Amino acid sequence: MEKSSPRMTGGVNSSPAVAANAEGEEIEVLESTDILPVAPEDQWKSLFDKYDPESSGFISTERFRDLLADHGSELDPHKLEVLLALADGNADGKICYQDFVNLMSNKRSNSFRRAILQGSRQLKGCALGEEGGLGLSQRLVRHIAYETLPREVDRKWYFDSYTYCPPPWLILAITIAEVAVFMYYGLQLDRWVLQVSSPSFLKGPLPYHPQLRAQAWRYLSYVFMHAGIEHLGLNMAMQLLVGVPLEMVHGAMRIGLVYVCGVLAGSLAVSVTDMTAPVVGSSGGVYALVSAHLANVVMNWSGMKCQFKLFRMAMALVCMSVEFGRAVWLRFYPPAFPPCPNPSFVAHLGGVAVGLTLGVVVLQNYEQRLQEQSLFWIFFCVYTLFVLCAVFWNIFAYGLLDVRLPPPP
């Protein structure tokens, strides 16, 4: 049985989102560009006017609760529960029309979330994990909610809002492309384990090589090449098991931002710290996602209700350690074709750095605008500064330091 969706249909464009602060003494106005997928504004106004006979533009929280009682059957039960919590948490005692429009929207503003979390009423319904009679797709969405979100109110809201449209296409598309490229080179080189030992491995247009660092696309395209099936297997396992659930919750744009920033930071970190080594593999992006998720779990340990979380976190760390250990061993193993060294392991560390900074901020702000988060801008500016410094390093440092690079592949 597929998950039910709100019965109200239609849409109206953006309107200011208003919510009470912690003490309920003033009103905060935020600009909103969200689309409200529930009903035309004239219908909202007609419904609101029924509970505002004085046409003051405000209704009391008591009347708002009456409105929800009369029309609650038209909303998902979890959304109704959250709206009641917000009504009880509004110490100002009244809700204006713009409040009303924003509350009925599927997208929550920062003030909306603060009002819920600061409300005096706790969610009184049964926990999402205790609900029965769910279909396969609903159980999957519930499982993803418990895997990634630390607050019950966020889990319930996500459960009611997620529609599988669009599906988690980005991580799946990247994975398919990486497997396809590996299969192609496996057939071309007639080698599946330690492909990097083939003399033709680095001759393609994808891997990063220090002699070809002027070809800017290689700082990203190296993600599609892997040193061997052992390298590909570990990366794909972590990428799918962590990346797909995160994309289902946070969307392709946010997860793509973390992934691409990890990939770029990985190759730039190699070009700065391991200047003679090439780079292959998706470890920069994978480690950015995994480290951000693990850090989010640790920071919200008591709120995370996923099963066997300690064991699963330990297994994730083991997989990361095994893959990193393999990369370190390969880097210092005598290369098959000296003087070109084997691929560097520093890209893993670049991905971890992105995950523990930019990635954590992205994952901690479910359905909240990143541009409103000062910490996001701080880490984004630091990341941009690192990229600019690394670009100048690549332009000038190799010549000034007279680095002896291996010959082009």
Q: What residue type is 395 in one-letter code?
A: I
List the one residue out of 117, 116, 124 whose CA is nearest residue 86: 116
The tokens describing 295, both together, are 């850090």
Q: Which of 78, 209, 293, 348 is catalytic?
A: 348
223-236 core/surface letters (b: 16 or more CB in 10 A; e: else): bbbbbbebbbebbb
| Cα distances (angstroms) measured from residue 74 to each of 14, 82, 99, 292, 305 | 22, 14, 19, 38, 30
Which helix (H) or strand (E) segment holds residue 29: the answer is: strand 27-30
Q: What residue type is 171 in one-letter code?
A: I
394/272 Cα distance (integer angstroms):
7
Which helix (H) or strand (E) segment holds residue 355: the answer is: none
Which helix (H) or strand (E) segment holds residue 96: the answer is: strand 94-96
The tokens describing 238, both together, are 């972590």
Phi, psi of 176 (to 5 degrees): -60, -40
| Cα distances (angstroms) measured from residue 34 to each of 41, 46, 220 | 14, 21, 33
Q: Which of 283, 291, 293, 344 is catalytic?
A: 283
The tokens describing 233, both together, are 């297997």
Residue 283 known to be catalytic: yes
Phi, psi of 40 (to 5 degrees): -60, 155
Q: Contact 82/153 with Cβ under 8 angstroms?
A: yes
Query: SS3 of 146, please?
Result: helix
Residue positions counted in the chain:
409
Residue 321 known to be catalytic: no
78/147 Cα distance (integer angstroms):
19
Query: SS3 of 200, please?
Result: coil
Could you give the residue numbers annotated as active site? 283, 348
